[in-house]
Structure 1
Amino acid sequence: MERRSFLKMSAALGCAASVTGCKTSSDDANVVPPKPPVGEEQITWSSCLVNCGSNCPVKVFSRDGVITRVETDHDVVDGDDIYQVRACARGRSLRQRTYAVDRLKTPMKRVGKRGEGKFVPISWDEAAKTIGTKLSSVINEHGNKAIFRSYGSGAYYGFASNACFNRLFNLNGGCLNAYGNYSWAQQMEAAKHTFGTGSTTGSSTVTLSNSDFLLGVAYNPSEIRQSGSGEGYDYLKALQKSNGLKVVMIDPRYTDSMLGKESKWLPIRPGTDAAFAEAIAYQMISSGWVDANSLDFINKYAVGFDADSIAAQQALFAASGDATKQEYAKVMKPEENYRDYILSQGIYSDQPLKTPEWAEKITGIPAAQLEQIATDLQNAKAPYIVVGAGVNRQANGEQSMRALYMLSVLTGKLGTLGSSNGELPYMSSMSRAGIPTGSNPVKESISFFTWSEAIHHGETMTARSHGVRGTDGLDTPLGTNIKVIISASDSSLLNQHAEINNTARILEDETGVELIVSCDCWMTPGAKFADIILPDTSWLESNDLVNDSYASGALGYITAMKSAIEPMWDCKSMYEAAALIAKYMGCEAEFTEGKTEEQWLEELYQKTKDNSNNLGVYPAFPATYKEAQEIGFFRKNMNDKHVALESYIKGGKPLSTPSGKIEIYSAELAWRAANWDQESKTQVKGDTITAIPQYTVTWDGYEDTDTSTDFPFQLAGYHTKGRTHSSYHNVPWLREAVEDAVWVNPMDASEQGLNSGDEIEMYNERGSIAVKVRITPRVAPGVLALGQGAWFKPGNTLGSTGHIIDEGGAINSLTRYQPSPVAKGNPQHTNRVAIKKI
């Protein structure tokens, strides 16, 4: 036997053995028997649909209904316009993930306490009837606002997605809406109140090659966007094409986006980014450079730099005849202007000067380096400033994001090719049609992050207290608690939500939410808290039509996925699951429209093809979806060199802010400060709203003396190459390839008597985790860095603060549930901890 044939057969036998090892309470008769493949090898195209921003295509090889191997795209020769879309290690491990030992095989219902993970198998008919009957009952008793679909981002399908559940709900009166997301909540609010845009409309990454200075704050595309066509790839190509580009990276960690590609790495203490920005602003303003070089730009395109600009805008609002703007005018205070704040004059005269020396004590970055960055920004012809999302996932991250956005305004060079405004880069994707969901009749929405609070307190949550949207007034309550949760492709039910131990207690209480449904492929930590489990089909078992997602870079693409194997065991797609539930809610005909899955996909393919006009697509789209599946993969360079704010600066198109200008001073935030509950009422340190960006000392921050003694280390979470959030954690290959260990600076390790490989307990008042140590100078002193997304696995040992030690090492065992002041978003990178060697 040839070595290649032997390896193929061994791989297939390994798959079968893995499947055989999938033990659940279901009948073992459904297990695929191990036998060597003898038929002809089949090749199909599928996709890695994980939430990294790129739906990378994968080429799947199978024989006799068994997947033998997975390869990445290598069908073209790399060029400037068309190139290979190489999947990272995660996509290449999809065979292992498909045959994981914890695959869900059959619908199940809970028989023990929530969270115990005790289930018995049931039929699909019983599962659908139970869910459909309960949904109808809850809607009749409590209304549609009592139904909540936690937003799942674990699978970016095109057709058989969690949108199918939205379609189901909307056909039955809707469900409680949610706004924001765990990734970008606070930066979306910061961008809205500064530029009137979303937070991902910065200049395209490819335009970085036209810049002469890159300032990256928590910017890490090489680890976050690993796809061979993604932002990380565009970043590397831009660095290669640039001529003399100076790269300064600000981050608590020395990331893989550096590794010699940077001119300078400056480690910063987590949560102090606003102080960093203010010191640079102080240099630029106090030196007179702004007055001499960019003040005309600021006066023309922005409002709020000085008192006169605020007073002028206040007068315009008061005379506008717009009731909302007139309300804003009543609370606007010209004395609260940015120049006076930065220079500590006027009403801010009792505050310390925002000098580099002041910021050095807070950020840990030497004053001379802060001065140099100010000089670099002033001298740059096209400064490209980009702020990663890690900054916004801090306590009062809205403030930090707005403070950093200000640096681009002060340069006066916005709208110039090669410059950017601090937002994440804009990326256009190839359009693909998805299943229509209809409109949601429910007008109210809560922040995505406050769902766990709405289980017991939704009735009283208001716009004033919790940022509820769509109510009739500030104090009109939502009016109902959440009674049913549908969790599909979603680990925010437990693992990715803050403060896991508290979330578990909420879910365990059956007097709160009455039905929890988990639709997934694997027994995730959250699935153990479900009442009904629905086994989804994996990507390699699915037919679908998917695009390149939201951060794939310059190259757009479409994959016509074709199942490599038939759905295993008793798994069904989310479309099939929702259709079965629709039957018991009396809307099956409306849900399916009489179409089979094959007919739906053909219709969606035709819409996709018509929208693309086939221009520039390689190869060209064929006539039918089935023909497209045989080809599998289609690509097109989007040739998008978007420049942030160019249409406003050079085209005169007003921004979507209330003033139509860049808002250094936000009148809407001034109004919220006057009307929403915040620090003065809640007594939460640093959770305050201000009209201009201001550095604030927050709970669990570097300067929080309330917790620094008991919990001396700051803990920073980051994204590892071995997972996307919590997805792929259950793949042993990736656990071997990417170590799950907490990074500790050598100075801290010496003081604590630690060696690499030691196991420690890391704890605070919210929980305890067990984790291994990796000693490295790639993390700032006083800061511990831990990859987020490890699966919660409570053991049997009490930790130092009375919590069961989480042996899985989930960082959210330590994070705090404390919605941010403006976005009501997640501050999960703000943590203080203590450590103890086990």
Structure 2
Amino acid sequence: MERRSFLKASAALGCAATVTGCKTSSDDVNVIPPKPPVEEQQTWSACLVNCGSNCPVKVFSQDGVITRVEADNETTDEYGVNHQIRACVRGRSLRQRTYAPDRLKTPMKRVGKRGEGKFVPISWDEAASTIASELQRIASEYGNKSILKLYGTGAYYGFSSSSCFNRILNLNGGFLNIYGNYSWAQQNEAASATGFGSTSGSNLLSLKDSDLFIGLGYNPSEMRQSGSGEGYDYLKAIEQNSELEVIMIDPRYTDSMTGKEDTWYPIRPGTDAALAEGIAYEMISSGWVDANSKDFLTKHCVGYDKASLEALKTEFENSGDDSKLEYVPYITPEDNYEDYILGQGKFVNEGPRTPSWAAKICGISEANIKELASKIMNARAPFIITGAGVNRHANGEQAMRSCYMLSFLTGKVGQPGVSNGALPGQRSLSRSGMSGLTNPIKEQISFFTFPDAIERGHEMTARKDGIRNTADLDTPLGNDLKAIFAINSNALVNQHSDSNGAAKILEDDTKCELIVSCDCWMTPSAKFADILLPDTSWLESNDLVNDSYASGIMGYLVAMKAAVDPLWECKSMYDMCALIAEKMGKLEEYTEGKDEAQWLAELYEKTRTNGNNANSIPPLPATYEEAQEQGVFRAFNDTPSIALESYINGTSTLRTPSGKIELFSLSMALKGAQWEFDDKVKGDYISGLPMYQATWEGYDDDETSDEYPFQLVGYHTKGRTHSSYHNVPWIREAVEDAVWMNPKDANAKGFTQGTEVHVWSKRGTIKLPVRITPRVAPGVLALGQGAWYEPDPAGNIGPSGHIVDIGGCINTLTRYQPSPLAKGNPQHTNRVQIAKA
């Protein structure tokens, strides 16, 4: 008997017992007729967590209760024949997550100090009225640029999260925009400056034509582990090419290796650029580039040698085009890549970037660096990928660009089996969405700089802070942040650098006066809200979702159907925003006369009729209800795609100032000259040349190496996507939260397996067990990111002088230091100490 039936029967039996007590004969007792068993129902939903796959799941329910969740087991299991999309352990634990004890069940308002987590329940009417009145007050008193919708990816709904809150904020006069993201901020800027998109590499089907694969910080088996994710495509690609040599370069021996690689080179965190330069030196100094790829570099690239920059400068000077003339003062032929690597010309005093020089920095031997260079030069079709982990370091923009150079030095980009260094191309089916309406505010801040915008937004500029769409470099933003809407976002505190520092800023409610959190669970960030709005979970939602941004080569759509009605007092974002819009006097503009079901029907019809050709969407049923019954619609495209093929083998140009691949970036050179940087921060500058930059708290930062001798690098675990799913005990048991340490280092510290340790930096202290393993390089500690920030309720102080975070959140230790170009997050650059707790 299921829970609801049991409760009904218990209540009835309780009444019967009461009545019986008043009777003189047991014959008069009311008999409850047996209830026939309720048939189990099956619906389709999806795991919309931000791993990039949006895997479909089968949801079984009975009598209004979810009983179990299964992965997709429809269709064939033959890869490439519209195969099954098997959800990983996270998606399969959605029942536990839906019924988690920390589910938000009712609207609440804060009654204690921000961050204490003290709330009292309120009605939806009070919640909507408070938000509407505060929004209107703040916009009137401070201006709409003082309102921010925080970056958040805790749920990738089809039409709800972004659009619904965008609509009410825009109906209130707009809000401050953000650009960038925690995953790819620096690589997006690096790739764009070079001449392509950060995920526009050759797709993994192209590996069939390759003979050498090199992955720098590339780990799809843990990042994209679903049955239709990039990890599955990668596994199948290397299985199907027996001639492929696989070389992985990473500080940690990841699950993308485990015997699938031929060679693992453990590298010191943040030194990938030095390795790339040591390899480049071998390729150039040996004469190989001149003999094999000089024509490619001359025709398709700018900045390899002095002559190419001299020619470009003359072309721009004679163009009469103001957009090109702007760059002329910053085209410096002396700053060419060849001279920099060889240590000649302007760079003679800096010396050549030899393998010997690189080995001292990156920890890979000189002989192995030369061997890597030899393999690249001798490969028929080298496929090189630089993973996103490389970009999440201090000055990750330059690290990414330095690694990209290796592909172009081969002169083979654009050929079958060759990529450009970027993440592999992906397949995604499109679906129509609800408009968020027009935002009249044009200014944008980096997603990462919201703490600065709270403290000094009024003075932030493009020149100092990377503000976009201001009148000029020195026009200030003009507003401090006074309201934050955190929608499915744990980035207020948990996913942001320096969690203790962020918490301290947010605790002061005289600065940011309103924080609204919409979520399903009481996350560490939700504890800092003034108003909490309980969202429906995915298993309670109707929606039409696509396969997101990193589902691999097969695209798909999922027509989700709620397995149960919204639990407790939870509401969908569409409905809760309708309540707020009504209190604002904007209900008709918000709904356009449609309820949620009507919006879904309309958007489904647009998807069905508009997207079938260009996006290869498979034929869809006539109605959304029919689509919900089938659930999943998939389309595998077995055509290899080759990075930059249309540019190199066609007539198109690239979106760089020169229209070519820029080894010397004109846009970066211009910003490096015009922007202001902090000369007290080691490595805080922008160069037009890709180069290894020694940075604060890097391997060669002498200021911190004695007090904090270990480099700490974060990684994505199989048990969480960022911080999502941390509150599922099943997964916490299966995927351990522990800091990885090499046996050599552990022995020197006297640690044994499982020893409770303190790890600390200048920013804070965490407590957790140590995992001793040769799967991490000596001198390096590795910790899975996303554990929930939990300052010790007992107030115990750690070696850093802060309350110990017993949750083990890596961002208790990371530094808030926006990167020079992207103003992005450097959360893999950390110097720490470790000792027994």
- 2:312 matched to which residue of 1? 313
- 2:441 matched to which residue of 1? 442
Q: Return 49-58 or 619-628, whichever deviates more.
A: 619-628
- 1:322 matched to which residue of 2? 321
Taking the aligned partners of 2:564 and 2:490, their CA distance within structure 1 comes to: 26
Q: Return 324-333 or 456-465, whichever deviates more.
A: 324-333
- 1:833 matched to which residue of 2? 832
- 1:741 matched to which residue of 2? 738
For residues 684-718 of structure 1, the C-alpha deviation after alignment (integer angstroms, 9 at most, x for no partner) is 00121101011111000000000000000000100
- 1:135 matched to which residue of 2? 135
Q: Is the 8 A contact 1:180 1:447 kept in 2?
A: yes
**Unaligned 5+ runs, structure 1:** 1-7, 17-34
The one-letter code matched in structure 1 to 2:146 is A
For residues 459-493 of structure 1, the C-alpha deviation after alignment (integer angstroms, 9 at most, x for no partner) is 00000000000001111000101110000100111
Once the two structures are TM-superposed, the CA of residue 373 in structure 1 deviates from its matched residue by: 1.1
Distance 1:496 1:13, change over 3 A: farther
Once the two structures are TM-superposed, the CA of residue 189 in structure 1 deviates from its matched residue by: 0.6
**1:427-438 alignment, distance < 5 Å:** 427-438=426-437
2:120 match: secondary structure: strand
Taking the aligned partners of 2:811 and 2:554, their CA distance within structure 1 comes to: 35
1:454 match: secondary structure: helix
- 1:179 matched to which residue of 2? 179
For residues 126-160 of structure 1, the C-alpha deviation after alignment (integer angstroms, 9 at most, x for no partner) is 11111111111111122111110002101011022
Taking the aligned partners of 2:289 and 2:143, their CA distance within structure 1 comes to: 56
Taking the aligned partners of 2:219 and 2:428, their CA distance within structure 1 comes to: 21
From the CA coordinates, give the structure whose radius of gyration is larger. 2
The one-letter code matched in structure 2 to 1:770 is K
**1:438-837 alignment, distance < 5 Å:** 438-613=437-612, 620-678=619-677, 681-795=678-792, 796-837=795-836
Taking the aligned partners of 2:827 and 2:804, their CA distance within structure 1 comes to: 19
Q: Is the 8 A contact 2:4 2:63 kept in 1?
A: no
1:375 match: secondary structure: helix
Once the two structures are TM-superposed, the CA of residue 722 in structure 1 deviates from its matched residue by: 0.1
2:399 match: secondary structure: helix
Answering whether residue 282 of structure 2 is matched by residue 264 of structure 1, we say no
- 1:363 matched to which residue of 2? 362
Taking the aligned partners of 2:475 and 2:335, their CA distance within structure 1 comes to: 31
Taking the aligned partners of 1:228 and 1:441, their CA distance within structure 2 comes to: 42
The one-letter code matched in structure 1 to 2:193 is H
Q: Is the 8 A contact 1:152 1:162 kept in 2?
A: no
Once the two structures are TM-superposed, the CA of residue 210 in structure 1 deviates from its matched residue by: 1.6
The one-letter code matched in structure 1 to 2:701 is D
The one-letter code matched in structure 2 to 1:778 is R
For residues 603-638 of structure 1, the C-alpha deviation after alignment (integer angstroms, 9 at most, x for no partner) is 010011112328998974111001111111111113
Q: Is the 8 A contact 1:383 1:420 kept in 2?
A: yes
Taking the aligned partners of 1:369 and 1:430, their CA distance within structure 2 comes to: 42
Taking the aligned partners of 1:507 and 1:37, their CA distance within structure 2 comes to: 54
For residues 292-333 of structure 1, the C-alpha deviation after alignment (integer angstroms, 9 at most, x for no partner) is 000010000000011111111112222223323212101221
The one-letter code matched in structure 2 to 1:296 is D
For residues 171-193 of structure 1, the C-alpha deviation after alignment (integer angstroms, 9 at most, x for no partner) is 33211010100000000010011
- 2:253 matched to which residue of 1? 254
Q: Is the 8 A contact 2:303 2:663 kept in 1?
A: yes
2:338 match: secondary structure: helix
- 1:27 matched to which residue of 2? none
The one-letter code matched in structure 1 to 2:440 is P
2:640 match: secondary structure: coil
- 1:213 matched to which residue of 2? 212
Taking the aligned partners of 1:321 and 1:666, their CA distance within structure 2 comes to: 21
- 2:117 matched to which residue of 1? 117
Q: Is the 8 A contact 2:408 2:420 kept in 1?
A: yes
Distance 1:318 1:799, change over 3 A: same
- 2:96 matched to which residue of 1? 96
The one-letter code matched in structure 2 to 1:292 is A
Q: Is the 8 A contact 1:498 1:828 kept in 2?
A: yes
2:804 match: secondary structure: strand
The one-letter code matched in structure 2 to 1:747 is K
For residues 530-556 of structure 1, the C-alpha deviation after alignment (integer angstroms, 9 at most, x for no partner) is 000000000000000001000101111
- 1:332 matched to which residue of 2? 331
- 1:22 matched to which residue of 2? none
Taking the aligned partners of 1:294 and 1:729, their CA distance within structure 2 comes to: 49
For residues 653-692 of structure 1, the C-alpha deviation after alignment (integer angstroms, 9 at most, x for no partner) is 10010000000111111111111112xx441001211010
Taking the aligned partners of 1:272 and 1:137, their CA distance within structure 2 comes to: 49
1:229 match: secondary structure: coil
For residues 53-98 of structure 1, the C-alpha deviation after alignment (integer angstroms, 9 at most, x for no partner) is 1000000000000000000000111223210000000000000000
* TM-score, with structure 2 as normaliser: 0.95
* TM-score, with structure 1 as normaliser: 0.95
The one-letter code matched in structure 1 to 2:388 is A
Q: Return 681-690 or 478-487, whichever deviates more.
A: 681-690
1:420 match: secondary structure: coil
Taking the aligned partners of 2:465 and 2:827, their CA distance within structure 1 comes to: 18
Answering whether residue 415 of structure 2 is matched by residue 422 of structure 1, we say no
Q: Is the 8 A contact 2:298 2:308 kept in 1?
A: yes
Answering whether residue 36 of structure 2 is matched by residue 43 of structure 1, we say no
Taking the aligned partners of 1:715 and 1:579, their CA distance within structure 2 comes to: 45
Once the two structures are TM-superposed, the CA of residue 811 in structure 1 deviates from its matched residue by: 0.1
Taking the aligned partners of 1:683 and 1:104, their CA distance within structure 2 comes to: 45
**1:184-195 alignment, distance < 5 Å:** 184-195=184-195
The one-letter code matched in structure 2 to 1:610 is T
Q: Is the 8 A contact 2:4 2:65 kept in 1?
A: no
Taking the aligned partners of 2:171 and 2:650, their CA distance within structure 1 comes to: 43
Q: Is the 8 A contact 1:450 1:819 kept in 2?
A: yes
The one-letter code matched in structure 1 to 2:416 is L
- 2:28 matched to which residue of 1? none
For residues 767-791 of structure 1, the C-alpha deviation after alignment (integer angstroms, 9 at most, x for no partner) is 0000111100000000000000000
Once the two structures are TM-superposed, the CA of residue 640 in structure 1 deviates from its matched residue by: 4.5
**1:281-300 alignment, distance < 5 Å:** 281-300=280-299
Number of equivalences: 810
Distance 1:192 1:10, change over 3 A: same
- 1:126 matched to which residue of 2? 126
2:173 match: secondary structure: coil
Q: Which runs of 4+ in 1 moved over 4 A?
A: 8-14, 614-619
Q: Is the 8 A contact 1:162 1:574 kept in 2?
A: no
The one-letter code matched in structure 2 to 1:266 is Y
**Unaligned 5+ runs, structure 2:** 10-33
1:299 match: secondary structure: helix
- 1:24 matched to which residue of 2? none
Distance 1:662 1:616, change over 3 A: closer
1:836 match: secondary structure: strand
Q: Is the 8 A contact 1:209 1:243 kept in 2?
A: no
Taking the aligned partners of 1:621 and 1:324, their CA distance within structure 2 comes to: 47
Q: Is the 8 A contact 2:45 2:560 kept in 1?
A: yes
Taking the aligned partners of 2:640 and 2:216, their CA distance within structure 1 comes to: 22
Distance 1:753 1:632, change over 3 A: same
Taking the aligned partners of 1:13 and 1:556, their CA distance within structure 2 comes to: 43
Q: Is the 8 A contact 2:518 2:534 kept in 1?
A: yes
Taking the aligned partners of 1:38 and 1:151, their CA distance within structure 2 comes to: 46
